[in-house]
Structure 1
Amino acid sequence: MRRGQQRISHQSGHGFPSYAPSNARRIVCESVKGYKWIRKQWLQVQYNDRQFKRDCLWKHDMSTQPKDVSQVPEEFLSENVEALSTEEDQMKDAQWFASGEPFRSMHVNNPWLRPPVGGNGVPATRPDGSLSEPFQCPLYDAGRSAEGGGLNGTPYYDTTVPRKHNYWKVFDDLPVETKDINRARRDLQKYGYCLIEDAMSEYQRSYMRDRLDEQARAERECGLADMSPHFHIMWTLVNKGDCFAKCIEFSPEWVQGGPLIEQLNKELLGPGHYAYSFASNIARPGSYPQNLHQDSGAIHPIQTPGAPVLVNTVYIMQDVNEVNGGTLVIPTSHRLVSQTTPGEEVGPLPPAVNVEAKGGTVMLMDGRLLHGTGVNHTDEWRYIMTNSNVKPWMRQQENWQLSVDPEVLENASDKLLQRMGYFSSGLLEIGSYSGPKTTLAVRLALDEGKYQRIRSMSSPVPDDVKEGLTIHQMKRRIDAARAAKAD
């Protein structure tokens, strides 16, 4: 109903529209057609009432709004905007978004980066979900892996570890397992990754490895496993054991190298970084190779040459190498790709290699580094966990605002809440009363079905309406706490 239109009473005392003919009851009794007419009129009243309520929300006179498209300035019409937005017309600084760079040229100049799909005449079928038969990756030849990884057009996944690779073994300063923070810093900056030796104690590693295996088996049994040709990826680990929550905090209780790992994350990401995701990547027996990629894809195609916006903390739960699918990396690629200017092409890249490390090692990896899951040539599942941390202005991959169990939230430390994004959320219904505790309170109230939002209101507001609003209740508690602190 538009402004100025008379609002009609919903119904008479007998349940008929007040404007219905006086003989309406007789019509209903005598004629199905009459009943349908009244039904139609009654539905129209309900529609008008809903329309009236919506229109009451407008704070300006609807009569001033354009009634038809002829009143809209022609410059604003979509067809005219489109006609003046050809590629030549658009802003030059933004055209590189459409160029596909740097990834278009990266794949043109390095065709070996593409995972095979029955290439070179070798039959290959992606896994169909069956877990009993291992998938035999095409073109794998351990005898030529020392010259593989992309050299001379060899497949990127047909490779070996750096110390065995003909290209990389001449570099005597490639990352190796270390407890020296300065060596780790150098490796991260120069090669894009570092290996923290014994970052997990044997007890920490074996306990979490067993917990992962138990959880993964149960999820596959229930048909709830997130399966791909590459791996079973197990999300929301924070709900699946306190040990995993402690990993997000880098707590020495479950990650003895936590303080060193946290310091390196802080140096690369700055203070206030939080968790983008924390999941277990479990490479399936005979896993299909994963396309090499950057994990900073949330901002693609933008590159950040000065520093990464994402850092991966990779928990290696068992010995990894070229046989069971140690993570594939192209050392130095974090610089080679990120230092291109917008629209600039990427030339030939160095070959890929498999990471080699003992179980209990933690690998820190620059999010700009090209990497991927290697082929697991064994009949056993291969376990790692990946905790990605990002700048606090980036949206998280895992929606922890909704997915975290209430019991975990109620027992969470402030540090865990901050890492899960509860300290970095947007404003609530009153900006000056939005913060970590209000975000948590709202989430718990939602779980209990008690969250009452501020809806359309008009003065005077009944006391019971005001008292029922969740933000009003939180405001009252916050005001009391602030007053007590001031005293």
Structure 2
Amino acid sequence: MNSLIQWIGPTFKNQDSPEEFYPAKTRRLPALLARSESVQGMATAPTINALCEHHLSDNCDRFQLHVSVAVNIGPGAREQVLHREEDAFPFFELPRPNLVIATMWAMNDFTHSNGATLLVPGSHRWSADRQARPDEVAQADMPEGSVLIWLGGTLHAAGANNSNEWRYGIILSYSLGWLRQEENQYLNLPPALAKNMPNEVRELVGYPMHGSLGFYDRDIAKI
């Protein structure tokens, strides 16, 4: 985990604006599968993939990688607003079938003081206008190397970092294979790179067709 921590660069915003979705002192690094074989292994972990199959396969032929991003949250970062991974798809009324499964891998200890992820269990069954009470919000304290998994309709947020240490995590989320991915996987892992990846990585990124979706000229896109 320590080698993964060193990816995240030194540049981040110095001002904390309550109008911004990502708190100040938050660094983000996308395109993780193109950067690390270790993350490729994390993304294709059998237990995680089995959970995705269980929760997503009723509504798709195959699931796909939705987001891969490292997140580094520094001392003094405010609490993030509660939100859903599936907020990218506002056209599906709440509550809805599962569209997304999200995971957070702890690269160091997640604690109350350094802003461990906040979750509202059961909120994936709520209507859009239902607000969480303070007593309904849980916090995912967990040691380095742990993985937090939640349904994409669940309200969650980064907690406030009131410690003197940075908190490091990797978000890997998965979605129904026919949805537009939030992260553009085909630019972050283009054919020139994907052709050297294991088949299971290419399939997870979304290179195979999903039914009639995603057809291409094989003479042009040889990977």
TM-score (norm 2): 0.82
Helix, strand or coil at the partner of 2:72: strand
Structure with higher helix content: 1
CA distance in 1, matches of 2:94, 2:64: 18
Residues 188-247 of structure 1 show CA distances to partners (whole Å, capped at 9, x for unaligned) of xxxxxxxxxxxxxxxxxxxxx223222113x639xxxxx851621110011211111222
Is the CA contact 1:216–1:234 (under 8 Å) kept in the aligned structure 2? Answer: yes
Alignment partner, residue 130 of structure 2: 346
Which structure: larger Rg? 1
Shift of 1:374: 0.5
Is the CA contact 2:79–2:159 (under 8 Å) kept in the aligned structure 1? Answer: yes
Equivalent position amino acid for 2:203 in 1? Q
Alignment partner, residue 281 of structure 1: 71
Equivalent position amino acid for 1:365 in 2? W
**Within 5 Å, which residues of 2 pair with 1:26-425?**
209-217=1-9, 220=11, 228-229=23-24, 231-250=26-45, 259-270=46-57, 271-303=61-93, 305=95, 307-337=97-127, 345-346=129-130, 349=133, 350-404=135-189, 408-424=193-209
Equivalent position amino acid for 1:269 in 2? L
Is the CA contact 1:268–1:307 (under 8 Å) kept in the aligned structure 2? Answer: no
Structure ranking higher on relative contact order (CA contacts 8 Å, 6+ apart): 2
Is the CA contact 2:94–2:126 (under 8 Å) kept in the aligned structure 1? Answer: no
Residues 247-281 of structure 1 show CA distances to partners (whole Å, capped at 9, x for unaligned) of 2222xxxxxxxx22221111101151001111111
Shift of 1:427: 2.7
Residues 112-141 of structure 1 show CA distances to partners (whole Å, capped at 9, x for unaligned) of xxxxxxxxxxxxxxxxxxxxxxxxxxxxxx
Is the CA contact 1:319–1:357 (under 8 Å) kept in the aligned structure 2? Answer: yes
CA distance in 2, matches of 1:260, 1:299: 26
CA distance in 2, matches of 1:440, 1:211: 34
Equivalent position amino acid for 2:162 in 1? H
* Counterparts in 2 of 1:402 and 1:351: CA distance versus 1, 3 Å: same
* Counterparts in 2 of 1:330 and 1:439: CA distance versus 1, 3 Å: farther
Helix, strand or coil at the partner of 1:300: coil
* Counterparts in 2 of 1:423 and 1:406: CA distance versus 1, 3 Å: closer
CA distance in 1, matches of 2:192, 2:11: 24
Shift of 1:306: 5.4
* Counterparts in 2 of 1:439 and 1:281: CA distance versus 1, 3 Å: farther
* Counterparts in 2 of 1:439 and 1:321: CA distance versus 1, 3 Å: farther
**Which residues of structure 2 form unaligned runs of 5+?**
13-21
CA distance in 1, matches of 2:159, 2:165: 14
**Which residues of structure 1 form unaligned runs of 5+?**
1-208, 222-226, 251-258, 429-433, 445-487
Shift of 1:406: 5.6
* Counterparts in 2 of 1:359 and 1:406: CA distance versus 1, 3 Å: same
CA distance in 2, matches of 1:439, 1:356: 48
Equivalent position amino acid for 1:236 in 2? A
Q: Does 1:426 align with 2:214?
A: yes
TM-score (norm 1): 0.39
CA distance in 2, matches of 1:324, 1:347: 25
CA distance in 2, matches of 1:406, 1:346: 43
**Within 5 Å, which residues of 2 pair with 1:471-482?**
none
Q: How many aligned positions are there?
A: 207
User: Please, what is the CA RMSD of the aligned residues?
Assistant: 2.5
Structure with higher strand content: 2
Shift of 1:426: 2.3
Is the CA contact 1:274–1:419 (under 8 Å) kept in the aligned structure 2? Answer: yes
CA distance in 1, matches of 2:78, 2:132: 24
